[in-house]
Structure 1
């Protein structure tokens, strides 16, 4: 957007949305086509498998099986998401379980968005504007969490940006606090998390934000057609929450938050709702950003794997195809690129996010992946026109990180007290 310059793209409304989607589909298709056309530089097999092929009389590498691979370097692919998940679990092993699970959702009614819209436009007409404003808010959120330490000092964190079916972006944060700031008892939960309507007279603006952004439903008996209840006997998110005089440790790692039966009610979406329906939030963050920002304390190690699986579940899928032989075609060949492309669900906001090159996921601190394998079972890459005999006999082909670790233990006495998982902190591969 430049003063004095008319850009017809910004006035296209739904055509602008289609333009954004089509543009990124071309970009992604180009990347996928490159991966497909350069499979010979991506081929990999177990070292022992190549040796077996050599002993079986197969001399050419292109006879080692046909599989079209979607590489780990492709952002958003299943291998990429699995690597992020494994890296996050490595952080849990190193620093302990996450203490706080935080979800922030874009608010299309932010003043920063509404003030920049052209006449007769709504937020959905400007995916570029919504994307950039949400990214700016996300950066401010990170600054408040990491530098201003609103919730305490953070040792490690992960966050993932996702996009709802209706298009609005939202981010999931998992925060691992330093030892002194870890949440270990219900009294600490109450200092950071509130699950009640605030005092309307004392905090009128906060009260307005809570009733606008942080009230669940209504669902259940009040509204059986609500998406979270439809087809079920009760709400899948366990609302309405029970009244409680104080915060306590609940079952399945979910705390029972402090909710008083004080008679405070507010009419929301045509129903009188009380503290039962308040989604847990942090008053400081809600007041600062004016959007739906759910803050939950993780009270048990049981939820860790579920949370990371949920955060790194990958992109939404529009459909799935079930075939008798999995992802194979009539000739038994496996095409991972086709399997990824056939079920992609894309929205204009996600496409603008990817075009701008913004991060989809971030882990801190970074994780170094180490190889782990049985003897002669490490993974090696090779060119399909390369002779197996030349590769197998190539110096270093039978080495790996794990083998080098064993050799270092033989050569250096100081290395013998260091576990393999911590080895990269002291030695370089």
Structure 2
């Protein structure tokens, strides 16, 4: 009881100190303070979430309360930043709504509404304008360097040894959002080193990637790579050197064989399991599994080629169902063996997939939004309020933002 009471006092002190710090700052944008005795709101909570040896504080081991604590503190930080934009509307309107053309581009059809819009600028990370600007930036890269060559998705593995090392007895991994994002960030930097410096797929001309935070899942990253002209892949034979969609030989590489079974196999779903989470209402898999057997890789008119999936008789029993090469998610053997996580690698075979893929990775936050339209001519459109009312923040995303990853 004494320990819990001490921690409760510690929580109260944390909030009191943070509120004092927030009141001293008139703006929410993070800046370098001239006085070394003060830190920003983000820096303080980042300090509180650090992992220390022989730390007497139980803040990081409060299970679900830690998740709530991280989200609450980030919401305080994000609200402070949004208040800054709300207070700067005079400067923002001067920049965005300079004339009639700008007003019409913003969706204004009534002259009386010009200047009555509260704008969330592109500098705010995660906002709709920010995502639109990033999408236009990467489309400019496509215009200069050509279509994407490789689409790679990496998902955090909660069973990484680096995560297990810092868990206490009976502690659940999903309750340590701070630890998950730290390890995932480190693994992501390793992956970038493999792709951009070691050039395992060839020299990269340009690239873009985003990190998504699932509501009930783990953080995952989407990479789009554009290779230099002499390293581009034009034939199915070159596709096979990078992407594999078959179960490996257990005798030759048992480690890779076990990883494919554990991480890469999809399903069972469809007729083998109609209750699968990937099933649509019409009874089909949203990922279009199972695939067809194919003796060699074929370049198709779709976004991705049909990879080689030979009918070699190898079957794996998963949930009382026998799965073969038709259920293998395309992967790269080297990256899978190195990172031990769900790591999907696809070849972007045609130019038609460019717009869809880039719009997919820059779609922004998952959200549900509705509004009641006011027909009065003097109604105000508040982009900040629209952003907040549809916002969903998961503990991993909040921790990642606090750590400034």
Residue 165 of structure 2 is aligned to residue 111 of structure 1? no
- The aligned residue for residue 198 of structure 1 is 248
Give how far 1:330 is off. 8.5
- The CA distance in 1 between the partners of 2:356 and 2:96, in whole Å, is 31
Match for residue 321 of structure 1? Answer: 370
- Runs of 4+ displaced beyond 3 Å: 44-50, 322-325, 328-331
Give the equivalent residue in structure 2 for 1:403: none
The answer to which of 167-176 and 220-229 deviates more is: 220-229
Q: Tell me which of 274, 280, 290 is aligned to 1:230.
A: 280
Give the equivalent residue in structure 2 for 1:214: 264
Q: Is the 8 A contact 2:178 2:399 kept in 1?
A: yes
**Does the CA-based 8 Å contact 1:167-1:348 persist in structure 2?**
no
Matched, 1:142 2:192: yes
Residue of structure 2 equivalent to 1:343: 390
Q: Is the 8 A contact 2:128 2:364 kept in 1?
A: yes
Aligned equivalent of 1:123, options 170, 173, 191: 173
**Paired position in structure 1 for 2:28:** none
5 Å-filtered alignment, 1:277-356, equals 277-317=327-367, 319-324=368-373, 331-356=378-403
RCO higher in structure (CA 8 A, sep ≥6): 1
Number of the residue aligned with 2:306: 256
Q: By how many angstroms is 1:12 displaced?
A: 0.6
For residues 165 and 269 of structure 1, what CA distance do their matches in structure 2 show?
26
What TM-score, normalized to structure 1?
0.78
Instruction: Say if 2:91 is the partner of 1:41.
Output: yes
Going from structure 1 to structure 2, the CA distance change for 1:182 and 1:6 (only over 3 Å counts) comes to: same
Structure 2 CA distance, aligned partners of 1:18 and 1:222?
A: 39
The 5 Å alignment of 1:368-379 reads: none
> How do 1:13-24 residues align onto structure 2 when only pairs under 5 Å count?
13-24=63-74
Q: Give the conservation status (yes or no) of the 8 Å contact 2:280–2:286.
A: no
Question: How far apart, in 2, do the equivalents of 1:329 and 1:68 lie?
Answer: 17
Quote the residue 2:293 is aligned against.
Answer: 243
Give unmatched runs, 5+ long, in structure 1: 53-61, 359-429
CA distances 1:158-203 after superposition (whole Å, capped 9, x unpaired): 0000011214100000000001111111111001000000001111
1:93 match: 143
Asked if the contact 1:167/1:347 (under 8 Å) is kept, the reply is no
* Higher alpha-carbon deviation: 111-120 or 100-109: 111-120
CA distance in 2, matches of 1:115, 1:45: 50
The 3-state SS of whatever aligns with 1:229 is coil
Per the alignment, residue 19 of structure 2 pairs with none
- Pair 1:357-2:404 in alignment: yes
Alignment check: 8 A CA contact 2:113 2:380 kept: no
SS of residue in 2 equivalent to 1:253: coil
- Contact kept, 8 Å, 1:96 with 1:176, in 2: the verdict is yes
Q: CA deviation at 1:329?
A: 8.1
- Could you tell me how far apart the structure 1 residues matched to 2:379 and 2:149 are? 46
Gaps of 5+ in 2: 1-50, 104-111
C-alpha change, 1:194 and 1:45, in structure 2 (3 Å) is closer
Q: Is the 8 A contact 2:151 2:348 kept in 1?
A: yes
Question: How much has 1:118 moved relative to structure 2?
Answer: 1.5
Deviation at 1:214, TM superposition (A): 0.5
Matched, 1:79 2:126: no
Report the secondary structure of 2:384's partner residue.
helix
1:176 corresponds to 2:223: no
